[in-house]
Amino acid sequence: MSTSPADPHLPTVHLRPPRNWINDPNGLVFHDGHYHVFFQYNPHGPQHANMHWGHYRSRDLITWEPLPVALAPTPGGHDADGCYSGNAVSTGGRIVAFYSAHRNDRWWQPVTTAESHDNGHTWAKSPRLLIPEPPAGTTMYRDPYVWRQGERWRMLVGSALDDGRAAALLYESDDLEHWTYRGPFHTSDDAGTDPIGWECPQYATFGDRSALILSDWTPRGGPSHTSVVTGREKDGRFEAATAPVPLDHGPDFYAPALLRAPGEDRWLMWGWAWEARDDTWAHEAGWAGVLTLPREVGLTADGTVAQRPARALLALRGPRILHGTGHVTRTESTELGQVGHTFDLTATLVPDPTGTSGLRLITSSDGSEYLDIDLDPMAGRLVVDRTHASHDARARGGAYTAPCPAATRPHAPVELRVIVDRSIAEVYLADEQVLTLRFYPSTDGPWRLQVRTTGSGRSEFAVAAWNLTPQDVRQEARPTPRAAQRA
């Protein structure tokens, strides 16, 4: 079993423990000078079971300190079969976590709480459920998201309605203890042939405008994808001004969580990047799942949700390892040089309008394994293709796209930022769109970058890359002190 950092696919700058299963980021909170990131965690193996809340904290988003597991199921308790997703707030010198109490003998997951008065080291669970029953007419109920707005506390809970629509349900409170149900905050359009529900609702305000992030779940297929709608709130309801669009255009992104950055009018976000390989392979490796790097989230004038890597991540860069400018043609690609298996690059591309133009990350000595990141001016899109990224048949392939209208404008430069960390790539397009995917090179030799085009003309480029150096002290999450887990 490969459970050490020597595993060539185990990310080094993305947050996760070196072993076992993780999924949704939970409880993002800034408290007493630290960013706290919790996450769904199985301390006993690399599969979705025995859900706990793992816990890291950081002062700078770069160096991460493992803290004891925050929440563990209480045998015979409200959460006997899992402490599922939710969030946390900092108030009155304490951290209050809100989470979904899972038991296999009920279909809904009641909202319950736990508190820490020592900066997240130990936790005391409430002996009672905060919201024990779902409203009438619901068929799914989980994943609280709590925030303060003015003088009130507010809560969204992910849900599905018995008419087949998805819903984010709204509650309000004056004291975090007593909550009043206000009804659906937002619902999906009329149900289609398949019912859906929304998991992990997240809500960010930008002045009088706001963004609602929703992770689509279906009874048939389970977790699907994450969408975002923007608009305004009116009379306790969210009125969308845009149609739902993907928050991330990649195949391996789900259940993101938000945190308003302390002292600033900006939001941070982490997501879950699941595995894109056979379950048996993940079991052999001894780990599954990774959190994305923290992103800064904003809202443009036209209502587009814009994302970029958190500015603090620049501190991970070592010396620049390559820099190249020039042009390429179909008959003459350009070799830029070698990169490490964890790197950050910026690229300005002026694509050839008659074909695709972009970068190829070559991960095998013979050039047969590669990840392509291309601009397609005729279609107006970014294309990330992992079809040839691994010779191992247990790895998923496929090509994925994000809209890129700028690529259709003749001679217009397009900005890219790409962060690769062994088996995860986060591709940022002009500080707005993002595409996240996993890939698993089957060789562990040197990697190199190439610029290429398939058009009949030429493509211009300017590319710079830096290897990234981990600054953290991560290790396996420590067990929760038994005395702190009282129900």
- Give the C-alpha separation, 343 to 320, whole Å: 10
How confident is the model at residue 479, as a pLDDT? 66
Q: What is the pLDDT of residues 66-98, one digit of tens each?
A: 999 999 999 999 999 999 999 999 999 999 999
One-letter amino acid for residue 352 of the chain: D
Domains 20-312 and 313-468 share a fold: no
One-letter amino acid for residue 396 of the chain: R
CB atoms inside a 10 Å sphere around CB 30: 17
Please report where in the chains the tokens 């936790």 appear, as a residue: 123
- Give the C-alpha separation, 64 to 264, whole Å: 21
3-class DSSP assignment, residue 356: coil
Q: What is the pLDDT of residues 324-340, one digit of tens each?
A: 999 999 999 999 999 99
Contact 240, 296 (CB under 8 A): no
How confident is the model at residue 25, as a pLDDT? 98
pTM of the predicted model, to two decimals? 0.96
One-letter amino acid for residue 326 of the chain: G
Contact 368, 388 (CB under 8 A): yes
How confident is the model at residue 486, as a pLDDT? 43
Joined tokens for residue 12: 């080094």
- Give the C-alpha separation, 24 to 86, whole Å: 9
Rg (CA), the chain: 23
Q: Which CATH number fits domain 313-468: 1.10.3720.10, 3.40.1500.10, 2.60.40.420, 2.60.120.560?
A: 2.60.120.560
Pick from 435, 160, 31, 396: nearest CA to 271? 435
Q: Where are the domains of the chain?
A: 20-312, 313-468
Q: What is the pLDDT of residues 197-225, one digit of tens each?
A: 999 999 999 999 999 999 999 988 999 99
State how far the alpha carbon of 206 is from the alpha carbons of 58, 60, 126, 266, in Å.
26, 24, 33, 8
pLDDT band at 483, cuts 50/70/90? very low
Q: What is the pLDDT of residues 288-302, one digit of tens each?
A: 999 999 999 999 999
State how far the alpha carbon of 145 is from the alpha carbons of 109, 110, 189, 462, 477, in Å.
14, 13, 22, 42, 24
CB atoms inside a 10 Å sphere around CB 326: 13
> Strand pairing partners for 468?
317
Q: Beta-strand (E) ranges in 219-313?
A: 222-234, 237-240, 245-246, 254-260, 267-273, 287-288, 290-291, 295-299, 305-309
> How wide is the angle at C-alpha 373 spanned by C-alphas 371 and 379, nearest 5°?
135
Q: Which helix (H) or strand (E) holds 280?
A: helix 279-285
236 pLDDT higher than 80? yes
pLDDT band at 484, cuts 50/70/90? very low
- Give the C-alpha separation, 30 to 33, whole Å: 7
Joined tokens for residue 90: 């900092």
Q: What is the tally of helices (H) and strands (E) in the chain? A: 1, 35
May I ask the CATH architecture of the domain 20-312?
Answer: 5 Propeller (2.115)
Burial 220-259 (b: 16+ CB within 10 A, else e): eeebebbbbbbbebeeeebeeeeebebbbbbbbbbbbbbb
Contact 297, 305 (CB under 8 A): yes
Q: What is the pLDDT of residues 390-434, one digit of tens each?
A: 999 999 999 999 999 999 999 999 999 999 999 999 999 998 999
